Chain A
């Protein structure tokens, strides 16, 4: 189990970009035209960025099994484009 310390910083979707430069995952989302209604998308992008970072920390590439573990619900059903965007975003992270 990992702990969250009181002085840990929490990054939200508002803090993901570097100034005017979008985070690679945000850019991949736009390039793949993922969003439909948009409601779940900040959570999807944050889950994607965190997943890719964790997998990279483990020294490996992202796999379909990793993508299958994402629980975030999208009622528009953008799942397939989410997968495509994560692969594209991971390539430039």
Chain B
């Protein structure tokens, strides 16, 4: 029997994936980087949003062709790392996936930026200095310099806290994020009712060169904030908040083929208790030689990567699985058969 909790249990999700990297260096020269990205099949049965490619996507090999095209056209390595390859291998597990939340970029970028920090360690270089030395373009060096300045890169941090930096080039924009994370027990174990708390991003800085023009700076900042939120838990405000969630808390827990999450309150997207108290988004002058850019999900990838790199530096071990807080279930799953608990009728019961 279908009931209201099932409404949230069906739908489409960002596909789970594994990204493996291998890099080789000779002295202070990075001579190769190989990234193999394996994912549950991303469903492109909608094609590019019209009838012809949607029909083509449903033909044998159609989805595979779209996936490979989108991966090749959207993914890149913004550093001079010698012989570089990025390959996608998608497997159809019959899962209802969707090309949502920046498609491949947050996952590909986070894995790669974690490798970049490890390469910097191997070469005894500072993560910012390393990125600057190997960046491919002047625009990349400009956003790195600006984010380092705005975010006070290298300032003294308490043990258990650290800064992390991430860079991303997509949607005709050049972007960099610098975050500070607090992984100390007092923060990780803070108590908020029915909440996934854990490590917290305490300060976030995002710098973007917005393609060839920026029509609405306030709107672009807002979208960036969202991406940072989501990426930290995945758009730039929308982007950055997205990025925070994807690194730290937002995931589905599957049991016997059914997601345990049965409401938006169960799903651990960024909430106020995960939001950075300090947030600064800087829009630099557009690049007159560039192309018209897009901002909807531009904040996700660099933010997710920066949070992962900050976490690595704060705790001293390289995380290999995201989100960080996945294992612990922080809610009581609703039953899969009726009756379901009734929702509260008096909100005053749940405020102090």
User: Does the CB pair A73–B237 fall under 8 Å?
Assistant: no
In the assembled complex, B346 has its CB within 8 A of some CB on chain A: yes
In the assembled complex, A3 has its CB within 8 A of some CB on chain B: yes
User: Does the CB pair B222–A4 fall under 8 Å?
Assistant: no
User: Does the CB pair A77–B240 fall under 8 Å?
Assistant: yes
Instruction: Pick out which of these stretches binds chain A: B73-81, B171-179, B271-279.
Output: B271-279
In the assembled complex, B192 has its CB within 8 A of some CB on chain A: yes
User: Does the CB pair B346–A3 fall under 8 Å?
Assistant: yes
Neighbouring B residues of A77 by C-beta, 8 Å: 225-230, 235, 237-242, 270
User: Does the CB pair B271–A71 fall under 8 Å?
Assistant: yes
Given the known inter-chain contacts A36-B226, A68-B192, please indicate yes or no for A83 contacting B272, CB distance below 8 A: yes
In the bound complex, CA of A8 to CA of B265 (Å): 28
Binary interface encoding of chain B residues 235-253 relative to chain A, with 1 for a CB under 8 A from any of its CBs, else 0: 1011111100000000000
Of the candidates A1, A78, A80, A82, the one whose C-beta lies within 8 Å of that of B349 is A1
Q: Is the interface of A mostly helix, strand, loop or mixed?
A: loop
Chain A residue with the shortest CB-CB distance to B240:
A77
Neighbouring B residues of A4 by C-beta, 8 Å: 346, 348
Of the candidates A64, A72, A78, A82, the one whose C-beta lies within 8 Å of that of B277 is A64
Chain B min CB distance to A59 (Å): 15
Neighbouring A residues of B269 by C-beta, 8 Å: 73, 75
Chain B residue total in the interface (Cβ 8 A):
33
User: Does the CB pair B238–A67 fall under 8 Å?
Assistant: no
In the assembled complex, B262 has its CB within 8 A of some CB on chain A: no
In the bound complex, CA of A4 to CA of B218 (Å): 41
User: Does the CB pair B275–A83 fall under 8 Å?
Assistant: yes
User: Does the CB pair A73–B271 fall under 8 Å?
Assistant: yes
In the bound complex, CA of A55 to CA of B279 (Å): 25
Chain A min CB distance to B342 (Å): 16
Which size class do A's interface residues fall under? 20 to 34
Neighbouring B residues of A76 by C-beta, 8 Å: 222, 226, 235, 237-238
Neighbouring A residues of B240 by C-beta, 8 Å: 77
Count chain B CB atoms within 10 A of each CB in A73, A77, A81 and give the residue with the most: A77
Chain B residue with the shortest CB-CB distance to A75:
B269
User: Does the CB pair A83–B277 fall under 8 Å?
Assistant: yes
In the bound complex, CA of A79 to CA of B225 (Å): 8
Count chain B CB atoms within 10 A of each CB in A2, A73, A76 and give the residue with the most: A76
Neighbouring A residues of B239 by C-beta, 8 Å: 77
Considering the complex of A and B, which 9 residue pairs feature the smallest CB-CB distances, nearest first? A77-B241, A77-B226, A77-B229, A77-B238, A79-B275, A2-B348, A68-B273, A80-B279, A70-B272
Binding site for A on B (CB under 8 A): 192-193, 218, 222-223, 225-230, 235, 237-242, 264-265, 269-273, 275-277, 279, 346, 348-349, 351
Binding site for B on A (CB under 8 A): 1-4, 33, 36, 54, 64, 67-73, 75-83
